[in-house]
Structure 1
Amino acid sequence: MHVIATAGHVDHGKSTLVRALTGRDPDRLEAEKRRGLTIELGYAWTTLPDVGDVAFVDVPGHRRFIGTMLAGLGPAPAVLFVVAADAGWSAQSAEHLRAIDALGLRHGLLVVTRCDLVAPERAEEVAQSGSERIAESSLGHVDSVVISAVTGAGLEDLRVALARLCSRLPQPRTDGRVRLWVDRSFTIDGSGTVVTGTLGAGTLHRGDRLAVGDRVVTIRGLQSLEAPQETVAATARVAVNLRGADASAIGRGDALLSAGDWRLTSVVDVRLREDAPDLPREARCHVGTASLRAYVRSLTPGAARLTLDRAVPLTPGDALILRDSGRDGAIWGAVVLDIEPPALRRRGDGARRGAALLDVGAAELAALVRTRGSLTDAEAAGLGHDLAGLSGVSRLDCHPEMLGGDEFVRIGSRVATRDVVSQWTSALEAAVDDQARHEPLRPGLPLAAARARAGLPDLATTELLCRAMALDISGGRVAREGTRPDLGAKSAALEGIVARLGDRPFDAPERPELEAAGLGVQELAAAEALGRVIRLADDLILLPTAPALAMRTLAALPQPFTTSAAREALASTRRVVIPLLEYLDRRGWTRRLDAGHREVVR
């Protein structure tokens, strides 16, 4: 599943857009429906071809609910930024973009809504202006789509753009410790306490024991996309039925944690995403779905120490937002660097500590990559590092075995150790060879399966590594160069049918004949891949030369011609001729005029 949050000014059509995409109303409160205004977080989901399930977290746009907006945006890996064509860029558009930039989000899509209310030129102008503003944020350059949720215009283009966005999202970590920030808590008669949230990493199982605050609870049941589940892996919207806690004791901003795996802290040192010499002494700190009061001590421009009003589960690399509600909503983004900072007792300790936090040495970054095996530019930035400063890095522009002696290898936006790349290379070769050995009719391994078998972190890295290894990628499948399907002992039977078709090119074999020869759908698909036949249907085959031969005959008929005339001229049957004519139509060689007539396109 992919999870995407909305963002944008109030009344620009975020909820209407989600409703049009999913067929579900994200607004669940009666006050929201009555006023046409999103007050609380809303949720809806849909399924996209070749992508799977996509869940949307719909956030309020009104500035009075900025805290609720941040609670929805914080745990989401991607954002759908909405601007209305008839209103253009507005105050909350800018504020929401500042929040996105402060969180360091890197994946998003601009949607210009209500294009039915303005001229096309105006909608494109709004899209261009919005794209330019967004490009200056952490999102960078994003795709833009102009739509109307009322007329449906552009919705298919939006689904295509959403699929493209989802394909670019980093592969979530599904092992290791769990931290589920709670965004809603309630009670269901007969079930008890239920909490919901966005699971960004790890996996939940029914029966797991988790910690929330100082309590230990047990997962009594799980739901995702309104269906009961035994297991839910990141990334996912999930509802968790808990045993051992009342709903009144858990609320937004609490977190369900792998018991014993997290340390709660109330004092952290952070790196600011930009210099902030005018930080307030007190601010609201937003992390995950939590909103905390923070006392801020500036250590040096670019670094600060936060003392929070309660202890929360944080880890280095967490993104958070500091918000000064007293200064027109001024916000700053920050990254957690240290959750157990040393005490500052002597004069000058703060400045020295700030300088140390900002002095990210190459040795520290190299150790981080070695520990993790690989790191993306985005992941490194979230931890306060820049992979561009790492030395001893070779770019993957040839087979990994031919690279120089550098310790690290850059593959697209990821840097990995040489040892890890060697493991991936060996595992990929073994997976590809295993597929060819066990499935000779379909020797190509699906790219997603290759990624999973080799333990690669994402499809983009998998594809780049395959190309560097000179593996063939075709139709979403990967194989060694020159690998072809192998029919084995059934080749002789195929050649007998090919010989007969050479004499009677439109006398396609019937299914019993194919079955007697041991040629099923997979064998025929392999024969087509080898260029021995073409398939007009799963079990309807002709020679590759048959379409050209048919055109020679059809062109000699009086135009337009009927299906019956074509059948008689080709000495064939309707079972063969109708699919053949449809094939010629798709090629643009013939044109269907009505139910009974066609003509040759000259």
Structure 2
Amino acid sequence: MHVVVTAGHVDHGKSTLVRVLTGSDPDRLEEERRRGLSIELGYCWTSLDGLGEVAFVDVPGHERFIATTLSGMGPVPVAMLVVAADDPWMPQAAEHLAALDALGVAHGIVVVTRSDLADPAPALARARSEVDRTSLAGAPVVAVSGATGEGLDELRALLHKVLSGLPAPDPAADVRLWVDRRFHVKGSGTVVTGTLPAGTVRVGDVLEVGGREARVRGVEALGVAREAISGVARVALDLGGRAPEVARGDAVVTPGAFEPTTLVDVRVTGEGAVPAKPLLHVGSALLAVHARPLGDDLVRLSLERPLPLRVGDRAILRDPGSRALWGLEVLDPAPPPLRRRGAAGVRAATLRGHDGSLAAELEVRGVVRRSLLRRIGVPDGPLPDGAVETAGWLVGPRRAEELRQRLVALASTRPVAPAAAAHELGLPADDLVLAVVRPPLRLEQGRITTGSDVPAALRDAAARVCAETDGFAAVEAGRLDQLGLGPAELARLHGAGLLLRIDPRLALPPGADAAAVEVLRGLDQPFTTSAARQALGTSRRVVLPLLAHLDRTGRTVRLADDRRRLR
């Protein structure tokens, strides 16, 4: 399915055009028909050959209903800007175009109506010049007449071309349906409607509204009951008689997939400074916010109620007094507090170079839960070199190195318990302390210490062992004796991270176990001891204790038939 929103000045023929294209009347209220103008959002649909179902969201064109208009525009990816040939360029056409530009809508068609009443050329030229200064630059233009049918075939062809060129939404994406209409059906319960941009909703799914669960009792799209529907689509969801309170502007979402926020950092576009108390239009929601400038085009918004926002969301700020509009892009829906003097300027400098990537988020946040990054819409990807992950926490490379250096300074004065170190370093979990323990740090009897107490002679002997080890072929026990390395000395060097002791009389360079895992990863799983020995290029004397070490440390699993596989 495809969804298209209309836009344009009042009485320029939006509803008439939708009626001609679909055969249905988008004006469903008696007052709308009596006054000849749209007051509420209208919905109609049709099918186009070779394209399938196309739904139209017909929005009011009168300036008094701009809030309703923006609630219909917010979630829709394609616009049809309607301009009358027998009227000049009008204020609401400009306001609607500014709103589409603010939302970043880049796909659409400009339609000049009433071509039978006046020469459409001037209106086409003016519309072209206005549109080409916005996100809709280059959109095709067409002149039509709803009365004579002239140009309608060309319009349908353009709709087919524009809609078929849209990127396909992800049917597996998290659901976020901004509610634009809510009503009660006797014998059924609460029904909500909205435009589903991506994801899939199925009968029986449990979704969430305002933190409360809502089970989907039925799904309808374009007047037809469905077992499931994927975005983009106009949908109606029956949430049953025990549905939580829900209204226009609420969002029906996948449980646990979003981070409701009342504080968000954004980048704004538009003329002039944003007022201190603008209105925020996002999706179908409208709410008052407080805007705090951070610097240049960066603003922090405090919201009057939580919203499920994500990085990259587009929305509109509006001054109800001057009717000025600003577009905004969400940069951070979970920003840090600004407590110190000058913090706003520091935050602005941070955001200017921020591209929303995983690496950038780790650079800014230092320590963060991976689950939070997913909920706020940070794209997943490989961790940058030097980053650390443990127990669901991520630590950025710069912060990990800083923590390691502070931990070395701390542990060099006295052995320290992980919990105490976490408190000292301001970390939320002991696991994060253990994750940055690297030589010269070591964990000994439950406490973190350094190898600074290892005598120089032992250090030199460990260095000789590393230099003389050929791959995974360990030096012989006799050579260890020559270097003065008995079981006690090997244990001490192992604890200091200077050698890897895999047997009381057998040592490899530190990190050899991790290197062995990478070699074993290339074998067919599970593998035999013999296959491991050949792949590692070593002897049974080494491979048996090395595999036993990998078993103990959880890197390999020993099976009943004495084969192993990587965990």
TM tier relative to shorter chain: 0.5 to 0.7
Which residue is equivalent to 1:266?
262
Between the aligned partners of 1:192 and 1:253, the Cα distance in structure 2 is: 19
Residues 225-240 of structure 1 mapped to structure 2, 5 A cutoff: 225-240=222-237
Q: 1:313 aligns with which of 302, 308, 317?
A: 308
Which residue is equivalent to 2:345?
351
Which residue is equivalent to 1:576?
none
SS of residue in 1 equivalent to 2:292: strand
Compute the displacement of 1:361 (Å): 6.0
SS of residue in 2 equivalent to 1:160: helix
Q: Is 1:168 matched up with 2:165? A: yes
Compute the displacement of 1:339 (Å): 1.0
Which residue is equivalent to 1:149?
146
Compute the displacement of 1:246 (Å): 5.1
SS of residue in 1 equivalent to 2:116: helix
Which residue is equivalent to 1:5?
5
Compute the displacement of 1:57 (Å): 0.2
Between the aligned partners of 2:347 and 2:188, the Cα distance in structure 1 is: 50
- Classify 1:19/1:365 alpha carbon distance in 2 versus 1 (closer, same or farther; 3 Å): farther
Which residue is equivalent to 2:101?
101
- Contact conserved, 2:357 with 2:378, CA < 8 A, in 1? no
SS of residue in 1 equivalent to 2:20: helix
Between the aligned partners of 1:298 and 1:245, the Cα distance in structure 2 is: 43
Q: 1:207 aligns with which of 159, 184, 204?
A: 204
Instruction: Report % sequence identity.
Output: 50
Which residue is equivalent to 1:60?
60
Which residue is equivalent to 2:279?
284
TM superposition score normalised by structure 2: 0.63
Q: Is 1:188 matched up with 2:185? A: yes
Compute the displacement of 1:336 (Å): 0.6
Between the aligned partners of 1:363 and 1:265, the Cα distance in structure 2 is: 20
Q: 2:132 aligns with which of 131, 135, 141?
A: 135
Between the aligned partners of 1:300 and 1:27, the Cα distance in structure 2 is: 45
Structure possessing the higher radius of gyration over alpha carbons: 2
Between the aligned partners of 1:350 and 1:96, the Cα distance in structure 2 is: 33
Between the aligned partners of 2:103 and 2:356, the Cα distance in structure 1 is: 25
Matched to 1:47, the amino acid is S
Of 6-15 and 346-355, deviating more is 346-355
- Classify 1:100/1:301 alpha carbon distance in 2 versus 1 (closer, same or farther; 3 Å): same
Q: 1:217 aligns with which of 214, 217, 224?
A: 214
Which residue is equivalent to 1:177?
174
Q: Structure 2: which 5+ residue stretches go unaligned?
A: 363-376, 383-567
Which residue is equivalent to 1:330?
324
- Contact conserved, 1:337 with 1:384, CA < 8 A, in 2? no
Compute the displacement of 1:365 (Å): 8.0
SS of residue in 1 equivalent to 2:301: strand
Between the aligned partners of 1:194 and 1:128, the Cα distance in structure 2 is: 44
Instruction: Write the deviation string for residues 189-243 of structure 1: whole angstroms up to 9, x where unpaired.
Output: 2211111000001000000001101321100001011000000000000010012
- Classify 1:277/1:384 alpha carbon distance in 2 versus 1 (closer, same or farther; 3 Å): farther
- Classify 1:33/1:263 alpha carbon distance in 2 versus 1 (closer, same or farther; 3 Å): same
- Classify 1:201/1:168 alpha carbon distance in 2 versus 1 (closer, same or farther; 3 Å): same
- Classify 1:174/1:134 alpha carbon distance in 2 versus 1 (closer, same or farther; 3 Å): same
Which residue is equivalent to 1:16?
16
Structure whose residues are more often helix by fraction? 1
Between the aligned partners of 2:150 and 2:160, the Cα distance in structure 1 is: 18
TM superposition score normalised by structure 1: 0.59
SS of residue in 1 equivalent to 2:10: coil
Instruction: Write the deviation string for residues 530-579 of structure 1: whole angstroms up to 9, x where unpaired.
Output: xxxxxxxxxxxxxxxxxxxxxxxxxxxxxxxxxxxxxxxxxxxxxxxxxx
Which residue is equivalent to 2:440?
none
Between the aligned partners of 1:61 and 1:3, the Cα distance in structure 2 is: 19
Q: Structure 1: which 5+ residue stretches go unaligned?
A: 369-382, 386-415, 418-602
- Classify 1:181/1:101 alpha carbon distance in 2 versus 1 (closer, same or farther; 3 Å): same
Compute the displacement of 1:357 (Å): 1.0
SS of residue in 1 equivalent to 2:275: coil
Between the aligned partners of 1:363 and 1:217, the Cα distance in structure 2 is: 33
Residues 542-561 of structure 1 mapped to structure 2, 5 A cutoff: none
- Contact conserved, 2:358 with 2:378, CA < 8 A, in 1? no
Which residue is equivalent to 1:508?
none
